[in-house]
Chains A and B, each alone.
Chain A
Amino acid sequence: MVLASDIQVAQNVGFAIIALTMIIAGVGVIAARNVVHAALSLVVVMAGAAANYVLLSAEFVAVTQVLVYIGAVMVLFLFGVMLTRAQVGKDAEVNNKNAVVAAPVALLLFGVLAYVLLKGFSDDKIAATTGNGAKPQDTAAISDLIFKPYLLPFWALSFVLLAAVIGAIVLARKD
């Protein structure tokens, strides 16, 4: 039974606005002819994702998303665009001939995914997190998880990052 308090009008309106913005910006990422425009559309998608995380009461991940993705990764992308600019700017054809095949593949994939999701999770609800202090220990809980059960993956991830940093320097340096 659906109670009036379960519908959460404010959250749903917010989600609709965020989702619409993300979809439009996502189309911008895959349709833009200019690399910088595509990168800036991706910023909007990432900001929308961060807003969705707040809606899902995952504040810490939302802040990390803003810091790491919008702050660091996008700067890296814009540097990459800048350093490889010579050919990119006036290249008339940014897409290859695969579009004829890729569009049906993507549409079919979305159809299958949407069918399975609608069938499998038809009326699963996300618990209401309204009211003050719904999950007050959330960030503390995340740190407890990272440094207790997920400590070994965390170490492995540290080594992955170290290897990526060294690998990027080795690849990109001039000698």
Chain B
Amino acid sequence: MLLNQFLILGALLFCMGVYGVLTRKNAVMVLLSIELILNSVNINLLAFDAMTGNSDGNVFALFIIAVAAAEVGVGLAMVLLIFRNRKNISLDDLSEMKG
């Protein structure tokens, strides 16, 4: 297998995630797109790990999975808080800090 087939797949998923983050209105959908980005990074790490042969990439991927779980927990708690205060989770309406 070529290294590039995994890297290109990761790049494609990453760009999909970037598009989703930029276009989605719903905060939960933005978090879903962020998960897409994190998964693409993990594919890259494990592809390089399989190329080099040591297991460092596996450790990094496990760390990223743990950080992603923490991120989703806090992110969804924030979305819940926003929903409770404003009765919707549209990110475009959250413009209090706009200068």
Band of interface residues on B: 35 or more
User: Is A126 engaged at the interface, CB distance under 8 Å to the other chain?
Assistant: yes
**Min CB gap B72→A, angstroms:** 5
Given A73-B68, A117-B4, CB of A29 within 8 Å of CB of B9: no
| Residue contact A167 to B29, C-beta cutoff 8 Å | no
Closest to B1 in A: A126
| Residue contact A58 to B61, C-beta cutoff 8 Å | yes
Q: Which residues of B contact A129 (CB under 8 A)?
A: 50
Q: Which residues of B contact A84 (CB under 8 A)?
A: 27-28, 79-80, 83, 89
Instruction: Indicate with 1 or 0, residue by residue over A48-82, a CB within 8 angstroms of chain B CB atoms.
Output: 01001101111011001100110011001101110
Cα A124 to Cα B8 in complex, Å, equals 13
Cα A141 to Cα B54 in complex, Å, equals 9
| Residue contact B63 to A30, C-beta cutoff 8 Å | no
Cα A164 to Cα B72 in complex, Å, equals 9
| Residue contact A168 to B67, C-beta cutoff 8 Å | no
- With an 8 Å Cβ cutoff, the count of chain A residues facing the other chain is 88
Cα A33 to Cα B4 in complex, Å, equals 32
Which one of A55, A72, A81 contacts B69 once the chains associate, using CB atoms below 8 Å? A72
* Residue among A49, A113, A141 facing the most chain B CB atoms (10 A cut-off): A49
Q: Which residues of B contact A87 (CB under 8 A)?
A: 87-90
Closest to B78 in A: A171
| Residue contact A145 to B56, C-beta cutoff 8 Å | yes
**Min CB gap A95→B, angstroms:** 5
| Residue contact A110 to B12, C-beta cutoff 8 Å | yes
Cα A64 to Cα B42 in complex, Å, equals 12
| Residue contact A94 to B24, C-beta cutoff 8 Å | yes
B interface vs A, CB < 8 Å? 1-9, 11-20, 22-29, 31-33, 35-36, 39, 42-43, 46-47, 49-51, 53-59, 61-63, 65-74, 76-81, 83-84, 87-92
A interface vs B, CB < 8 Å? 8, 11-12, 15, 19, 22-23, 26-27, 29-30, 35, 38-39, 42, 45-46, 49, 52-53, 55-58, 60-61, 64-65, 68-69, 72-73, 76-77, 79-81, 83-84, 86-88, 91, 93-96, 98-99, 101-103, 105-107, 109-110, 113-114, 117-118, 121-127, 129, 138, 141-142, 145-146, 150, 153, 157, 160-161, 163-165, 167-169, 171-172, 174
